[in-house]
Amino acid sequence: MWFRNLQVFRLAPGTGLDPERLAEKLAARPLEPCGGLERQRLGWRPLRGEDDFVYGQNGQYLIALGIEDKLLPASVVRQMAEDKVAEIAQAEGYKPGAKRRREIREQIEDELLPRAFVKRTTVHAWLDPAGGWLAVDAASAGKAEALVKLLGESAPDLALALPHTQLSPGAAMTGWLAANEAPAGFSIDRDCELRLPGEDRATVRYVRHALDGEEIGAHIAAGKLATRLGLTWSDRVSFVLTEKLEIKRLQFLDILKEQSEQAEDAEAMFQIEFALMTGELARLLADLVEALGGESDE
């Protein structure tokens, strides 16, 4: 139950959360199989039991979005459409026009979709009403936005917004690199990305590389800004911060995982891991916002 990425959203101030009511609302929109001609369907999934749509512990809550996708490779559709177009051209003596070729492709997609393989994905989200956070365990913003959209439809009383800080993450990370000094409670790791603004967008990436040399300073002096930076918080959690305030490649260091390994069974391990993870992440987010100058009024 260790999250690997965080796409973070702010709960509106004063937002209350009734887990029983939320569970009822999510249960009303469960993930169901795609229809014959559907490419994708979204819905909520129970976490452990059949009706366990919200898991709560110490005022922290976990929910799960289910995504069912039909796997229909574009290359397969294209090849079958080309074969059909060639067959028609040979029979009629001329190649079908653009409109007819598009109709042929759509017809082939409709024929193949009911027989396509199905892939199910689960995306977890952590709700922290006390801290005012919703964090989605997703590497891409698209999956997080899909979860937030469906949550807004399922539970309209949960108002969500993107967080804004006084310092933009990009400006702050560039300053930390230029000074070779991380904010209090953090240390700079060995990964970063620097990019030149504008049309050129020249980019330099460092992976497992010391970031305290003159080379980094030269790139910053030339106008490049930090878009990704590896950090460790409190010697307990390492991650990569992006210019969009995304937290990626989360790693909970050994001292935390050793505590969860003392659990007697899978259920106890789940409970311990969730308690450890949410406790650490709540403090990490608070310290990160402070390092970025606090929240703005936007």
Query: DSSP of 111-164, one letter per residue?
Result: HHGGGSEEEEEEEEEEEETTTTEEEE--SSHHHHHHHHHHHHHH-TTS-EE---
Query: Angle between the 98-112 and 74-92 helix axes, to the nearest 10 degrees?
Result: 130
108 and 253 share one domain = no
Residue 257: per-residue pLDDT: 66
d(C-alpha 240, C-alpha 274), whole Å: 21
Residue 64: per-residue pLDDT: 97
Domain closes at, from 97, 128, 161:
161
Instruction: Indicate the pTM of the whole model.
Output: 0.86
Residue 87: per-residue pLDDT: 86
Residue 204: per-residue pLDDT: 93
What is the C-alpha R_g of the chain? Answer: 24
Domain that holds residue 97: 74-114
Residue 35 within any structural domain of the chain:
yes
Residue 270 within any structural domain of the chain:
yes
Q: Using one digit for the tens of pLDDT, what is the confidence trace for 135-149?
A: 999 999 999 999 999
Domain closes at, from 129, 145, 161:
161
Cβ neighbours of residue 125 under 8 Å, at least 6 residues apart? 62, 63, 64, 65, 134, 135, 136, 137, 147, 151
Beta bridge mates, 237: 233, 252
32 and 85 share one domain = no
Q: Count how many domains the chain has.
A: 3
17 and 148 share one domain = yes
Residue 126: per-residue pLDDT: 98
Is residue 166 helix, strand or coil? coil
43 and 144 share one domain = yes
DSSP conformational letter for 115: G
Residue 25: per-residue pLDDT: 96
46 and 156 share one domain = yes
Q: pLDDT averaged over consecutive 10-residue blocks of the chain (298 residues)?
A: 94 86 96 86 90 92 95 85 85 86 85 84 96 96 96 92 95 95 95 90 90 87 95 96 97 74 79 93 97 88
145 and 267 share one domain = no
d(C-alpha 55, C-alpha 20), whole Å: 10
